[in-house]
Amino acid sequence: MQPTHTSADRGRAALGPALELVHTGAAPTRSALTSALGVTRATAGAVTCELEALNLITVDSRPAGGTRGRPSHRLAVDPSGPVVLAAQIHADGFTVALATLGGALGPHRDFPLPVPASPERVLHAVVTEAAALIAADPRRCVGLGLAVPTPVALPDRTAVAAMYLDWPSGTPVGDLLEQQVAAAGLSVAVDVANDANLAALAEHRHGAGRGSRHLLYITSGHRGVGGALVVEGKLHTGSAGLALEVGQLTVDPDGRLCPCGNRGCLDVEADPPALLAAAGREVDPARPLLDQTRDVLADAAAGDARARGAVEHVTDRLGLGIAGVINILNPDRVVLGAFHSALLVAAPDRLARVVAERSYWGRSGQIPIAPAVLERSELAGAAELAWAPVLADPLGVLGG
Ligand SMILES: [Zn+2]
């Protein structure tokens, strides 16, 4: 411990913020990093040297850009540097992939859920496949992040209302995951969070939410509707991690029955089964729900009147929900994921009109509504969760 604050201390404090700027692509050069951090060129130089020594970034000293201004070193994440393991549990199975800094996911592997109603069995399978992927890669793995389709209460990391997984409410998913990771002999930091929250974080850092200050994210991938708010780059968690559970907003008091016991929640009025029901189609349990919604959207685009009516009905319900949330939260951008992104593409004018009619702040379309752009936002978000300790203190995690 240094007795006084030296420039080295200031440099260490800047390592995390600097790494995040390179990680998100916000600082492609050292001069961009210098101005974004508000530090001297000497400090920025020391910080980039340190991050390069930790194998986190590369510094290319050949001048970037044209002839205007002072040439600056180019910064990029180091592709041979450490990786994290991203995992996602969803209604159709689970997925694992390795991820580098910069938001890039390696090839992902999909597996069915063994005994879906048993959290222990499911988490054991996830960790077994994760360990195999880590063992097969020469790079150092420094964290494991898991996205789950249930609210996760903080600080205990318990899954509450895991309605679509049939897990007991209050399942200590964080502790169970840590036990499985320890039993597998992995020494990596572990964390778990709600899938919609993580997708929002990934879209904010690497996707359609980049640059927004108050990003509202709403999505539906299988059953139910998830939401999240990213404020100034940080997830808004509420007092216990349960903020933005927009699925339980009532958008039709006489609507479809929800697993929560109420009728007409956004969860059951604007998810894939809602579209299939409105189109008069049975859910095929053997096929992913998103694929089945794509059939309805394609039929609607081809002129099928019943399919088009279903798309409009569900778009209107979604619009009511979005408008209600906009009125309360005053976001500067709305990003829609998965099924909702497809609905937006299918009926952009209708969704914008419903939101404008029902939302005081959304009038005249001042709040852009955009589709998510990342291929697998939830999995990318699980990687962001795994990177969190490194981004907070790169030297603390990697320097030992
Ligand atoms: Zn409900």
pLDDT in tens, 226-259: 999 999 999 999 999 989 989 999 999 999 999 8
- The verdict on 65 and 134 lying in the same domain is no
pLDDT value at residue 64:
54
Q: How far is the CA of 179 from the centre of ligand 1 (A)?
A: 32
Structural domain contains residue 202: no
What is this structure's pTM? Answer: 0.93
Let me know whether 250 and 342 are in one domain: yes
- Residue 192 pairs in a beta bridge with 146
| Residue ranges making up the domain that contains 26 | 7-77
Q: What is the pLDDT of residues 5-62, one digit of tens each?
A: 566 666 788 999 999 999 999 999 999 999 999 999 999 999 999 999 999 999 998 7
Q: Which residues are in the CB-under-5-Å shell of ion ligand 1?
A: 248, 258, 260, 262, 265, 267
Going from the Cα of 115 to the center of ligand 1, the distance in angstroms, rounded, reads 25
What average pLDDT does range 68-93 have in this prediction? 89
Same domain? 293 vs 364: yes
Mean pLDDT (the chain) is 92
Q: Distance of CA 95 to CAs 4, 71, 98, 218, Å?
A: 48, 43, 11, 21
Joined tokens for residue 58: 């590369």
With both helix axes pointing from N to C terminus, report the angle between 7-23 and 41-53 in degrees, rounded to the nearest 10.
70
267 and 344 in a common domain: yes
Domain contains 19: yes
Residue 391: helix, strand or coil by DSSP?
helix
pLDDT band at 2 (very low <50, low <70, confident <90, very high): very low
Share of residues in the chain with pLDDT > 70 (%): 94
Q: How far, in Å, from the CA of 99 to the mean position of ligand 1?
A: 35
The reply to whether 186 falls in a domain is yes
Establish if 2 belongs to a structural domain: no
The reply to whether 92 and 36 lie within a common domain is: no
Considering the domain architecture, whether residues 89 and 73 belong to the same structural domain is answered as: no
Q: Which of 32, 59, 77 is the last residue of a domain?
A: 77
**Centre of ligand 1 from the C-alpha of residue 261, in Å:** 6
- Between these two residues, 87 and 4, which has the higher pLDDT value? 87
* Cβ atoms within 10 Å, residue 76: 14
Å from CA of 178 to ligand 1 middle: 31
Q: Is 286 contained in some domain?
A: yes
Please return the burial class of 15, using the count of CB atoms within 10 Å of its CB with bins 0-12, 13-18 and 19+: buried
Query: Is 355 within the bounds of a domain?
Result: yes
Query: How many A from CA of 246 to the centre of ligand 1?
Result: 9
C-alpha distance across the termini of the chain, in Å: 15
Confidence check: pLDDT of 69 > 70? no
Residues 190 and 275 in one domain: no
Do 87 and 45 lie in one domain? The reply is: no
The residue to which tokens 């359609």 are assigned = 208
**d(Cα 293, Cα 291) in Å, to the nearest integer?**
5
Average pLDDT value for residue range 104-124:
92
How many angstroms is it from 271 CA to the middle of ligand 1?
12
Last residue of a domain, one of 77, 93, 113: 77
| 203 inside domain | no
Residue pLDDT, tens place only, 342-398 = 999 999 999 999 999 998 776 656 799 999 999 999 999 999 999 999 999 999 999
pLDDT for res 190: 97
169 pLDDT band, cuts 50/70/90, is: confident
Please indicate, yes or no, whether residues 28 and 59 belong to a single structural domain of this protein.
yes
User: pLDDT tens digits, residue range 299-321?
Assistant: 999 999 999 999 999 999 999 99
- Considering the domain architecture, whether residues 150 and 229 belong to the same structural domain is answered as no
Residues 285-300: tens digit of each pLDDT:
889 899 999 999 999 9
pLDDT of 3: 47
Q: Is 265 in the same domain as 312?
A: yes
Same domain, yes or no: 357 and 236? yes
pLDDT higher at 6 or 190: 190
Q: How many domains does the chain fold into?
A: 3
Tell me the helices (H) and strands (E) count for the chain, helix number first: 14, 14
Per-residue pLDDT for 1 more than 50?
A: no
The whole-number pLDDT of residue 163 equals: 73
* Domain stops at, among 34, 59, 77: 77
| 268 CA from centroid of ligand 1 (Å) | 7
pLDDT of residue 70: 62
Reading the block at residue 233, the tokens are 């780059």
CATH number for 156: 3.30.420.40
Determine, yes or no, domain membership for 269: yes
> What's the CA-to-centroid distance between 276 and ligand 1, angstroms?
18
**What local confidence, expressed as pLDDT, does residue 40 receive?**
93
Residue 340 Cα to ligand 1 middle (Å):
18
Residue 245 CA to ligand 1 centre (angstroms): 10
For residue 76, the SS3 value is strand
Which structure tokens are listed for 354? 């419903």
